[in-house]
Amino acid sequence: MTKTMRAVEITEAGGPEVLKPVERDIPKPGHGDVLLKIAYAGVNRPDALQRAGLYAPPPEASDLPGLEASGEVVALGEGVSGISVGDKVCALLPGGGYAEYATTPAAHCLPVPEGMGMKEAACLPETFFTVWSNVFQRGGLKAGEKFLVHGGSSGIGTTAIQLASHFGARVFTTAGNADKCRICEELGAERAINYREEDFVEVIRAEGGADLILDMVGGSYLPKNVKSLANDGRLVQIAFLQGPKVELNFAQVMMRRLTITGSTLRPQSDLAKARIADALREQVWPLLSAGKIAPVMDSEYALDQAADAHARMEGSTHIGKIVLKVGG
């Protein structure tokens, strides 16, 4: 095997143009890690935040962007069991996915679901780990509950709609145009609200309020989310596209027994992520293998065109997942 690989690095904090192809040394798998030869790498909004200098990688993670990939296991670190060289997997990465090779804990790898291509498999880990841990584990969504997810056409949104409706929740969502709304309803949303034309607070309150809201927008949405929650409702915050600071009347939280919580996946411990992987393997991977749910694919770019992929994501015209072809 050669010692170097093609990769895309963030040359400085800035717009998509700061992503540049480079040669890097192939990383070595540490204790408990595998080395993956990457077929495809998923593109996620947190990659764009990292590129803009707003989301630093955790200590010891690769400085290269890329939080998920599909590929073949080509080497094992010490102490690895239950996975073999030659296995085809998709994996959550601590970083480093925009490259021909990356290392990640073996416990963060999942098999490529039966019948699924490597391209689609690359788009599973980041959104499925995030949605499972925030909607079902932290948010405690149950069958029959009313669930509102903002950004319904995003990678996160399309995953949340499918999983929540599969597990029997009534799903409501917001999106920025009629096309996006139509696709959200095809995926299982009972009602997709075009937030440019309708007030989501009115629609949700007319339904009696949401039991759980998954939000990535923040800012002006925070007080609106509080108004949209039913008594005993829960708000799970996973990002702040409109900013994290706002004036909020917390009396509502007290009087209506609301819960406001949130999390980010990347800084969590390897063990916490391995536990999410175990739950997904048991409860969600059979649904993917049976074709009951599937990632919604938007577009594919070559690794060297990562800047174009980021521009598409930040233009917000995409629906579903954007992927980089690395080895194919």
Question: Shortest Cβ contact with ligand NAP: which residue?
Answer: 154
# residues contacting ligand NAP (CB under 6 A): 25
d(CA 188, CA 172): 9
CB of 118 to ligand NAP, least distance (A): 19
Is residue 175 a contact residue for ligand NAP (CB under 6 A)? yes
Task: Give the type of residue at 285.
Answer: W
Among 210, 216, 236, 303, binds ligand NAP (CB under 6 A): 216
**Of 41-49, 103-111, 227-235, 302-310: span binding ligand NAP (CB under 6 A):** 41-49
* Max Cα–Cα distance, the chain, nearest Å: 63
Per CB under 6 A, 217 contacts ligand NAP: yes
Closest distance to ligand NAP from the beta carbon of 235 (Å): 13
Residue 42: helix, strand or coil by DSSP?
strand
Q: Is 162 in the site for ligand NAP (CB under 6 A)?
A: no
- Record the tokens describing residue 222, joined without a space: 């925070």
Closest to ligand NAP by CB, 242 vs 305, is: 242
Q: Which of residues 253-312 bind ligand NAP (CB under 6 A)?
A: 263-265
Stretch 138-157: interaction string toward ligand NAP, x if CB under 6 A: -------------x-xxxx-
Tokens of 93: 């990465």
* Residue 190 contacts residue 206 (beta carbons within 8 Å): no
The nearer residue to ligand NAP, 108 or 180, going by C-beta atoms, is 180
Q: For residue 259, give the H/E element and its range.
A: strand 259-262
Q: Counting contacts by CB under 6 A, is residue 242 touching ligand NAP? A: yes
Check residue 238 for interaction with ligand NAP (CB under 6 A). yes
Residue identified by tokens 């599937």 is 294
At residue 55, the 3 state secondary structure works out as coil
Structure tokens at 162: 């499918």
CB 129 within 8 A of CB 123: no
**Region of 3-11, 42-50, 70-78, 101-109 interacting with ligand NAP (CB under 6 A):** 42-50
Report d(CA 47, CA 236) in Å as an integer.
21
d(CA 174, CA 177): 9
Q: Binding residues for ligand NAP, per CB under 6 A?
A: 44-46, 49, 126, 130, 151, 153-156, 175-176, 180, 216-217, 238-239, 241-242, 263-265, 313, 316
